A and B are shown apart, each in its own frame.
Chain A
Amino acid sequence: MSTESEILPEILHVGIDLGTSRSAISASNGERFVVDSFVGWPADMVAKKVLKRDVLIGHEAVANRTMLDLHRPLERGLLKEGSDKDVEAVRELLKHLLRLVGVSSNGKIESSNVRAVVGVPAAALRTNKQYLRNSMKGIVDSLMIVSEPFAVAYGLNALLHTMIIDIGAGTTDFCVMKGRYPGEEDQRTLTIAGDSLDTQLLKLIEERYPQANVTIFMVREWKEKHSFVGDPPKRVLVTAPVKGVPTELDITNEMKTACETLLPPTVETMLDLLSRVEPEFQERVRGNIILSGGGGLIRNLAHSLEDALKQVGGGKVTHMQDPVFVGSDGGLALALDAPDEDWEKLTA
């Protein structure tokens, strides 16, 4: 019988997709969660009394935003720099994610060792990674930071002759997998992504219905339900207050225009990266393009990208049915596969 001191600490491996809009976590104990990347502190004593909480995270924070000092600590998939409150917010978000998968409220599992793989945009600078590493001190024991599309590719075993296009809220990341850890030349990051689409859609709706009272949060929800490119599958009808009266608005054209702003830069970058693949492998990569991230769910997007590929010989674009966890699952796969001796070197 072993004494308590002889018991090896329980190791929890986690993969985290720290997203501008949503963050997902997959843990080795089988738990998976996704939360909105919002953190809010009660704006005053009254709010604190009403909310009975020191900090609110995710959907709760968005729902109670009028009473909160609300922070969205990630911008374009990276930690905002310069504000202590944003650093604090990202720490709260990470602690919350870990709590959800079983880590205790003080941010650490008793007698345990948390090993985390976190995905960041492909174009993240080393300073951004260092900044993230510093922010995670004391929250996890060991940390590996990888590019988000690489984590996706790893999770899908798509490591050779594959292109991942990961359309998130803050960034659209491209990565060509060539059987090696992707370098700068294999990756691209665009800042035209879900958020820019929301802004564009809000602008178009406000132009068409100047009397309507529409917020970015409403627009985001509509986009997630109805986004499409090409021919509309059906009319997009939403309800918003106009002079205080709930009114049905037809935003089909606005939705199409906003969503199609993604197409030209995505096509240009996809073709540019393809042109840099060795000629003998281009056809294989063209036939293995994977769309992930929330943007991958835009209706007809995969089809439109395939249309664009026809000018270079055609190809196949597949979108992930479960884009929410594909990044965090890939991170978890990496975390589980990394040997103990490597984790020991990657102390947070």
Chain B
Amino acid sequence: MRGGEINRVKRHVLRQAVADNLDTIRGLPPRGLRPGRRFVRLFLRRAPLVIIPLILAGFAFITSTGVTRPAKAVPAPATPKAPQIRLTRASMTPMLMTDTLEPVSASAFPLSVHRVVLDAGHGGTDPGASSISNVSEKEITLDIEKRLSALLRKNGFEVVATRDDDRLIPLRERARLANGSSSDIFVSIHVNSIPHPSNHGVQTYYLGPTNDPTLTRLAAAENRTSGYALADLRKLLDRVYADVRRDESQRLANAVQLQMFSGLRGVDPGLENWGVRRAPFIVLVATEMPAILAEVGCLSNEREAEMLRSGAYREQIAQALFHGIHAYASANDAPQRKGT
């Protein structure tokens, strides 16, 4: 580079360095990943889901109440009038603003599941949890992901894997890949490790706040390399809680947890059901589709660590996860789901 060009580049990067520092001082998240921009994109993608039913409902309402018809004398109905709802501009506007969007029941929009993102936790230089016998989480999650992927493909699903070999993919990269793949659900596979080696169980997380200090610590550890400040996360979460995908994520988590526990309890009678929990893991926060994180076992328990070494047990875990995803997808494909 010539001297003049170097100076121009230096001025440019220096301006950006100062801007980055000012963002830090103001507590803003990294540029390009601002919640506003992400949620605008998310809103634009989801807007038809809200607007089309709204227009249809409005049209039906207008038709039924005859608002647009010319005024003419109509005999009063004999039956008592229901309280009249006026569809005004003021009442419509909030429906279109994500800031004040009331929680929308996901059941209003039964969507099919065609494409599934599978995320094998950890990898490369990040082994995740390890057992005393040196089985690492990254190997187990990758193997289960491959088995589950085969099962899903065999049954007509499309699968996108965040990693298919032993390498480290940053959490944001995983979320970015998932968001760019137009997938319908996101399933992150992990293996637990807890301070009490005698206990072991299965557990499924979906996005949400938690008051449990253990979960907060766990999420903080998993999120360490994410690049978000706590304040940024808070803002992201506040927006996400009202999002339709939280409910869908919970339903998916319920389906997977049920199948995991019932499917694995048969081969491991000591397995505990640690249930469905909420936690702010980055991969759940940053993905834009219903997302769960399944802890499919517990490496701190030596007996289970031994089982997790075996291909047969991993296959059973993959089967259980498949049945959970399939149950969720089948419920979505049904024309009328419970509660609609």
Contacts and interface: CB of A to CB of B under 8 A. Distances in A.
B13 A181 contact: yes
B125 A180 contact: no
A126 interface: yes
A253 interface: no
Given A127-B230, A150-B17, A159-B13, A183 B32 contact: yes
Interface residues of B, number: 37
A133 B22 CA distance: 12
A272 B6 CA distance: 27
A346 B125 contact: no
Interface in B294-317: none
B41 interface: no
Given A125-B229, A159-B6, A184-B30, A179 B13 contact: yes
B227 A125 contact: yes
B336 interface: no
B18 A345 contact: yes
B293 to A, nearest CB: 20
A60 B332 CA distance: 68
A144 B1 contact: no
B59 to A, nearest CB: 46
A284 B254 CA distance: 51
A184 B13 contact: no
Contact of B229 (A130, A154, A188, A345): A130
Interface stretch (A93-101, A305-313, A334-342): A334-342
A157 interface: yes
A144 B227 contact: no
Contacts of B12: 179-180
B21 interface: yes
Interface of B: 1, 6, 9-14, 16-25, 27, 29-32, 124-125, 167-168, 170, 172, 224-230, 232
B188 to A, nearest CB: 20
Contact of A346 (B9, B22, B124, B227): B22
Interface string A270-285: 0010000000000000
Given A126-B30, A181-B17, A183-B30, 19 more contacts: A123-B227, A126-B227, A126-B228, A126-B229, A130-B24, A130-B229, A133-B24, A133-B25, A159-B6, A160-B9, A179-B13, A180-B13, A183-B31, A184-B30, A265-B124, A268-B124, A268-B125, A268-B168, A346-B22
Interface of B is mostly: helix
Contact of B125 (A123, A192, A337): A192
A214 interface: no
A181 B10 contact: no
Interface of A is mostly: mixed
Contacts of B19: 181
13 contacts: A130-B24, A157-B10, A159-B9, A160-B9, A179-B9, A179-B12, A180-B12, A181-B19, A192-B125, A269-B125, A338-B18, A342-B14, A345-B22
Contact of A184 (B6, B17, B224, B227): B227
A267 to B, nearest CB: 11
Interface of A: 123, 125-127, 129-130, 133, 143-146, 150, 154, 157, 159-160, 179-181, 183-184, 188-190, 192, 265, 268-269, 272, 334, 337-338, 342, 345-346
A144 B17 contact: yes
A346 B21 contact: yes
Contacts of A184: 30, 170, 172, 227
B31 to A, nearest CB: 8
Contact of B1 (A154, A160, A183, A189): A160
Nearest to A345: B22
Nearest to A264: B125
- Top 5 nearest A-B pairs by Cβ distance? A181-B16, A126-B229, A265-B125, A342-B18, A127-B229
Nearest to B173: A185
B225 to A, nearest CB: 6
Nearest to B125: A265
B167 A272 contact: yes
A158 to B, nearest CB: 10
A189 B227 CA distance: 12
A295 to B, nearest CB: 15
Nearest to A192: B125
A21 B230 CA distance: 28
Contact of A123 (B11, B32, B225): B225
B125 to A, nearest CB: 4
A338 to B, nearest CB: 6
From A127, A265, A269, A338, residue with most partner B Cβ within 10 Å: A127
Contacts of B170: 184, 188
Contacts of B6: 157, 159
Given A157-B6, A181-B16, A345-B18, A126 B167 contact: no
